[in-house]
């Protein structure tokens, strides 16, 4: 089992991630607090005042978005905290402290903590775990509290949340007199594992384990609970508990179903518990679900959950482009899950999934200016999809924020005498492996270029194994140690090349990944992508935007064997490699008012360029397409 190197020890001083992480810290964090304030999300904490009118109405499910406002500022605190250790910011700290003060003030004597129920419906607390997100909200507060404690050493928020968890331990479980419930929206489970790693308190791990094991047991707690409320369980608005991955016990689940974010949070917690409890059965369930997801239900961008109606999965191979829901949160959470899997089982397929969301379907959720967002990450648009300043349900902005502000943690892991390098991108990292202090400097223009230089600073010579991820997209890689090419084929294991030797200060590893423009095709069962092609270069998926070609990309016909030329365009939104080439365009000029005709549209030459998908919708409004029609 590997241990990730903490994000505070990885700095992006140059390269691809520098501007994204600087912007997250300097723009995203402060503007998100402004939005939370403007939109009334923080007002819910004014426990001394009478509750005002709802900022978000009650939906047919009985849920108001306001039920889980706590989760939004919880996630904001978490995201903000990740920036504080290396970049102390008294203003941000003061804002967090103010929230914590109010939370502590509102917390009930028995530890219960949820702004909605305390203030509006205290008698209804713990009566509807199926719909009302109480533990989901507490989970996000807990993750925020842990991050804030780790960043600042301040325990107040953490102590508040430990009291809240004590209350949950008193209330839920298999012991007589306790409720055998669990929250329909997973989240607290993975937060509890994080807490356990801070406190070492086995009760915290046990509670997480209970929630995961209890899930999906029949007869369903949600039925029981509905009847206690005097409701018919059959009236459940989402019809099936598969919506919450609670239709069968988690170890029996083989197909990824239901709400995509819920699924990813659950699977992340399952991976955490497989890791902490050394539980191969849970790991094996995760493996099967991971293969189901990546083999049958994942967009090429790493987006997931095609349908808006359940914010999640439908049938296998259902990957519509224009109506893709592909929520930012779900892609971020697939990053969480993949990363966790790789710590138990160093397999490049997990790291590939992480890299895919990182450069594509998650990163697309935030604008280049750091203060506009996508909730849905479509793969095709006629221009109707624009980024939001804030969202009606703003779960995604804070999720992508916490992903970016803690990004460093995904790069390296260590275990006895081993350093695993998962991701590439310029950074400087400090690692402790065994008793050795290792300073690693990655110099690279990755993902724009496949050459990576890893310079080693060592406190003392050491025999170490480097496990270097060879990305799944790469068909030809070279590795040089101190200028000398090495043959790593025999050492390759599940997508990682192993180099074991005695290392000394000043040593250098060079990796060179061939990074041609690739044409990507989808499985024949994906009807939407029939005769369509997507372009990828390295880990970056491309799209064509109307802003670049002056016409809808839907009219392009990509010539089968035309070569595309990559070119670094320093002027494009901070600089990016674009792809340029010649295609054809279906000509509307000879259609004279008819919508259908019996002759094929005529085609005319058309030069085009493609830009990284994650950069789309940062310029003029217009159509966009990832999967282009191939002639």
Under the criterion CB under 8 A, does residue 61 sit at the interface with a second copy?
no
Residues 539-598 interacting with a second copy (rule: CB under 8 A)? 552, 554-555, 557, 585-588, 591, 593-598
Which residue, 174 or 309, is less far from a second copy as judged by CB? 309
Min dist. Cβ of residue 138 to a second copy (A): 30
- For residue 311, indicate whether it is catalytic: yes
Task: Tell me the sheet residues that pair with 453.
Answer: 443, 510
Say which of 134, 214, 311, 327 is annotated catalytic: 311
Under the criterion CB under 8 A, does residue 382 sit at the interface with a second copy?
yes
C-alpha closest to that of 145 among 88, 206, 71:
71
Which residue, 128 or 301, is less far from a second copy as judged by CB? 301
Alpha-carbon Rg for the chain in angstroms: 25
Give the tokens for residue 454.
Answer: 């890893």
Q: What is the rounded distance in angstroms from the CA atom of residue 219 to the CA atom of residue 477?
A: 53
- For residue 543, indicate whether it is catalytic: no
Q: What is the rounded distance in angstroms from the CA atom of residue 321 to the CA atom of residue 319?
A: 6
Instruction: Report DSSP letters for 488-500, one per residue.
Output: -GGG-BTTEEEEE
Give the tokens for residue 211.
Answer: 């929630």
Under the criterion CB under 8 A, does residue 484 sit at the interface with a second copy?
no
Residues 323-342 interacting with a second copy (rule: CB under 8 A)? 323
Give the tokens for residue 314.
Answer: 């439908």
Under the criterion CB under 8 A, does residue 14 sit at the interface with a second copy?
no
Q: Which of 53, 153, 230, 524 binds a second copy (CB under 8 A)?
A: 524
Say which of 286, 395, 396, 474 is annotated catalytic: 395
Query: Taking a C-beta distance cutoff of 8 angstroms, is the pair 304, 334 a contact?
Result: yes
Min dist. Cβ of residue 40 to a second copy (A): 18
Under the criterion CB under 8 A, does residue 630 sit at the interface with a second copy?
yes
C-alpha closest to that of 250 among 224, 274, 226:
274
Q: What is the rounded distance in angstroms from the CA atom of residue 41 to the CA atom of residue 558?
A: 47
Q: Which of 415, 519, 606, 619 binds a second copy (CB under 8 A)?
A: 519
Give the tokens for residue 509.
Answer: 């590893």
Give the tokens for residue 218.
Answer: 């029949």
Q: Which of 145, 526, 540, 578 binds a second copy (CB under 8 A)?
A: 526
Using CA atoms, how far residue 186 sits from 240, 483, 607, in Å, is: 16, 49, 48
Instruction: With CB under 8 A as the rule, give the number of residues binding a second copy.
Output: 50
Q: What is the rounded distance in angstroms from the CA atom of residue 21 to the CA atom of residue 401?
A: 9
Instruction: Report DSSP letters for 377-423, one per residue.
Output: --SEESS----BSS-SSTHHHHHHHHHHHTGGGGTEEEETTEEEE--
Q: Which stretch binds a second copy (CB under 8 A): 155-163, 209-217, 290-298, 362-370?
A: 290-298
Q: What is the rounded distance in angstroms from the CA atom of residue 46 to the CA atom of residue 392?
A: 21
Under the criterion CB under 8 A, does residue 497 sit at the interface with a second copy?
no
Give the x/- contact pattern for a second copy in 246-285, rule: CB under 8 A. Answer: ----------------------------------------
Which residue, 298 or 433, is less far from a second copy as judged by CB? 298
Q: Which of 34, 530, 562, 563 binds a second copy (CB under 8 A)?
A: 530
User: What distance separates the 2 farthest-apart alpha carbons in the chain?
Assistant: 78
C-alpha closest to that of 502 among 462, 457, 465:
462
Q: Which of 303, 320, 425, 450 binds a second copy (CB under 8 A)?
A: 320
C-alpha closest to that of 324 among 533, 64, 529:
529
Which residue, 334 or 462, is less far from a second copy as judged by CB? 334
Under the criterion CB under 8 A, does residue 527 sit at the interface with a second copy?
yes
Contacts of 89 (CB under 8 A, 6+ apart): 83
Min dist. Cβ of residue 559 to a second copy (A): 13
Q: Which of 525, 562, 563, 607 binds a second copy (CB under 8 A)?
A: 525
Which residue, 500 or 531, is less far from a second copy as judged by CB? 531
Q: What is the rounded distance in angstroms from the CA atom of residue 349 to the CA atom of residue 296?
A: 15
Under the criterion CB under 8 A, does residue 231 sit at the interface with a second copy?
no
Which residue, 155 or 597, is less far from a second copy as judged by CB? 597
Count of beta carbons in the 10 Å neighbourhood of residue 565: 10
Give the x/- contact pattern for a second copy in 609-628, rule: CB under 8 A. Answer: --------------x-x---
Q: What is the rounded distance in angstroms from the CA atom of residue 485 to the CA atom of residue 495?
A: 19
Positions annotated as catalytic residues are 311, 395
Sites of contact with a second copy (CB under 8 A): 291, 294-296, 298, 300, 315, 318, 320, 322-323, 380, 382, 384, 518-527, 530-531, 534, 552, 554-555, 557, 585-588, 591, 593-601, 623, 625, 629-631
């Amino acid at each position: 089992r590997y241990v990730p190197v903490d994000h505070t020890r990885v700095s992006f001083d140059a390269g691809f991630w520098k501007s994204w992480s600087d912007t997250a810290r300097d723009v995203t964090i402060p503007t998100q607090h402004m939005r939370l304030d403007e939109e009334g999300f923080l007002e819910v904490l004014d426990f001394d005042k009478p509750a005002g009118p709802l900022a978000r109405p009650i939906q047919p499910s009985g849920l108001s978005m306001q039920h889980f406002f706590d989760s939004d500022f919880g996630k904001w605190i978490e995201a903000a905290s990740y920036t504080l250790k290396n970049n102390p910011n008294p203003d941000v700290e003061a804002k967090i402290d103010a929230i914590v003060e109010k939370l502590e003030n509102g917390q009930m004597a028995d530890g219960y903590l949820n702004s909605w129920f305390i203030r509006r419906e205290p008698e209804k607390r713990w009566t509807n775990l199926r719909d009302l997100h109480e533990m989901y909200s507490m989970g996000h507060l807990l993750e925020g509290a842990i991050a804030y404690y780790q960043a600042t050493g301040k325990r107040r928020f953490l102590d508040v949340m430990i009291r809240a968890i004590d209350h949950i331990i008193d209330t839920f479980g298999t012991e007589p007199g306790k409720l055998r419930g669990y929250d329909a929206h997973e989240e607290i489970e993975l937060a509890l594992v994080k807490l356990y790693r801070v406190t070492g308190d086995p009760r915290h791990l046990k509670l997480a384990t209970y929630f995961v094991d209890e899930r999906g047991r029949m007869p369903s707690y949600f039925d029981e609970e509905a009847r206690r409320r005097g409701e018919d369980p059959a009236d459940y608005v989402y019809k099936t508990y598969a919506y919450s991955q609670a239709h069968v016990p988690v170890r029996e689940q083989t197909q990824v179903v239901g709400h995509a974010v819920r699924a990813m949070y659950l699977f992340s917690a399952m991976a955490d518990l497989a890791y902490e409890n050394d539980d191969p059965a849970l790991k094996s369930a995760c493996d099967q679900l991971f293969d189901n997801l990546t083999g049958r239900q994942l967009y090429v961008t790493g987006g997931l959950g095609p349908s808006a109606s359940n914010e999640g999965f439908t049938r296998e191979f259902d990957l519509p482009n224009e109506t893709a829901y592909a929520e930012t949160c779900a892609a971020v959470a697939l990053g969480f899950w993949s990363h966790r899997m790789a710590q138990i089982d160093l397999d490049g397929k997990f790291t590939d999934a992480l890299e895919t969301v990182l450069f594509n379907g998650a990163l697309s959720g935030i604008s280049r200016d750091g203060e506009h967002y996508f909730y849905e990450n479509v793969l095709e648009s006629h221009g109707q999809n624009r980024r939001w300043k804030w969202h009606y349900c703003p779960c995604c902005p804070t999720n992508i924020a916490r992903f970016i502000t803690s990004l460093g943690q995904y790069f390296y892991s260590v275990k006895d005498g081993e350093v695993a390098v998962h991701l590439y991108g310029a950074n400087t990292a400090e690692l402790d492996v065994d008793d050795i202090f290792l300073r690693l400097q990655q110099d690279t223009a990755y993902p724009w270029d496949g050459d990576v230089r890893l310079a080693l600073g060592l406190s003392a010579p050491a025999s170490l194994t480097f496990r270097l991820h060879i990305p799944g997209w790469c068909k030809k890689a070279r590795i040089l140690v101190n200028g000398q090419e090495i043959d790593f084929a025999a050492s390759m294991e599940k997508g990682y090349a192993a180099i074991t030797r005695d290392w000394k200060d000043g040593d250098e590893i060079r990796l060179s990944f061939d990074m041609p423009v690739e044409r990507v095709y989808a499985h024949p069962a994906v009807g939407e992508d029939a005769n369509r092609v997507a372009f990828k270069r390295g880990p970056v998926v491309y799209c064509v935007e109307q802003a670049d070609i002056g016409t809808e990309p839907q009219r392009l016909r990509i010539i089968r064997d035309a070569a595309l030329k990559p070119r670094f365009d320093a002027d494009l939104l901070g600089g990016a490699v674009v792809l340029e080439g010649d295609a054809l365009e279906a000509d509307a000029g000879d259609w004279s008012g008819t919508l259908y005709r019996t002759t094929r549209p005529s085609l005319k030459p058309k030069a085009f360029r493609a830009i990284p998908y994650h950069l789309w919708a940062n310029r003029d409004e217009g159509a966009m397409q990832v999967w282009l029609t191939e002639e």
